[in-house]
């Protein structure tokens, strides 16, 4: 059974259609990259799945549970969390406070302490800087913090919007190393927005290419890097 199912999803902002009739499924434990040019609707898609953006129509399911129509907190409680574009770290709060922000929704308070410990073990730099203001961290460390914070709600499915944005290639390597080892450790289902198909191919996984709010290709990321499909998606239909 597919972990995540998106059926005929549409997102509109006033008259602008950001996503039209989009459907795909993500298998349990799969790593799926979403790529495509700016304005393709990638963030709108993640927003609609996580409940941050209201869908005009469509159905989103996780393990047969209908998520569409639920708010972000209830969706997080079902086990789906998002690492937003731009990280959305609270710079004036400490690293520990940032990690605790999302845990208010959890009823298993004892386990929260364990998960904080697990986050610190997975990201030793965050333990070292636990009492420092998050705004003092480097860009890469802030991305790690954003990922660690999303893990604090103990998700089964994690959506990550452009984790490599604004980071040096070596730092991006570290971010993906960490994401992949967390995925292996926890059996996470991962959906990652990544502009660079070369990067997606190197990390490995399936890739969906979006353009103009629609899916224009879906397959193994490694097969995309060299394919004409990419320029087609970016620059328009081939002559």
Ligand X SMILES: Nc1ncnc2c1ncn2[C@@H]1O[C@H](COP(=O)(O)OP(=O)(O)O)[C@@H](O)[C@H]1O
Q: In sequence order, what are the residues at sequence separation of 6 or more whose Cβ sits closer than 8 angstroms to the Cβ of residue 108?
A: none
Chain residues 70-99 in contact with Mg ion, contact rule CB under 5 A: 85
Nearest CB to ligand X, comparing residues 49 and 112:
49
Of 82 and 95, nearer to Mg ion (C-beta) is 82
Q: Which residues bind ligand X (CB under 6 A)?
A: 13, 16, 18, 36, 38-44
Q: Does 154 bind Mg ion (CB under 5 A)?
A: no
CA distance 99 to 116: 7
The number of beta carbons lying within 10 Å of the beta carbon of residue 72 is 17
Q: How far is the CB of 160 from ligand X (least distance, A)?
A: 13
Terminal-residue alpha carbon distance, the chain: 40
Q: Which residue has the tokens 């890097």?
A: 225
For the bound state, the minimum distance from the C-beta of residue 68 to ligand X, rounded and expressed in Å, comes to: 17
**Cα distance between residue 217 and residue 38, in whole Å:** 16
- The CB-of-40 to Mg ion minimum distance in angstroms stands at 8
Segment 9-68, which members bind Mg ion (CB under 5 A)? Answer: 42-43
Q: What's the rounded Cα separation, in Å, for the pair 40 and 122?
A: 33
C-beta of 118 vs 197, nearer to Mg ion: 197
Binding site for Mg ion (CB under 5 A): 42-43, 85
């Amino acid at each position: 059974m597919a972990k995540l199912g998106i059926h005929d999803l549409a997102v509109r902002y006033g008259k602008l259609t950001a996503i039209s009739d989009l459907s795909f499924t993500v298998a349990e434990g799969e790593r799926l990259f979403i790529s495509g040019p700016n304005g393709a609707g990638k963030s709108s898609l993640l927003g609609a799945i996580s409940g941050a953006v209201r869908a005009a129509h469509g159905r989103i399911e996780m393990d047969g549970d209908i998520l569409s129509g639920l708010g972000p907190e209830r969706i997080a409680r079902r086990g789906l969390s998002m690492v937003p574009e731009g990280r959305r770290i609270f710079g004036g709060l400490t690293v520990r406070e940032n990690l605790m922000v999302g845990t208010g929704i959890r009823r298993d308070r004892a386990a929260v302490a364990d998960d904080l410990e697990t986050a610190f073990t997975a990201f030793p730099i965050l333990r070292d800087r636990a009492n420092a203001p998050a705004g003092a961290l480097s860009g890469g460390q802030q991305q790690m913090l954003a990922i660690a914070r999303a893990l604090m709600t103990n998700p089964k499915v994690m959506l990550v919007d452009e984790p490599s944005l604004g980071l040096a290639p070596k730092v991006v390597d570290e971010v993906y190393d960490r994401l992949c080892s967390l995925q292996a450790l926890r059996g996470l289902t991962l959906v990652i927005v990544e502009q660079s198909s070369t990067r997606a191919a190197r990390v490995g996984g399936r890739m969906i290419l979006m353009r103009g709010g629609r899916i224009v290709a879906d397959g193994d990321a490694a097969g995309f890097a060299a394919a004409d499909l990419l320029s087609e998606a970016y620059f328009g239909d081939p002559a």
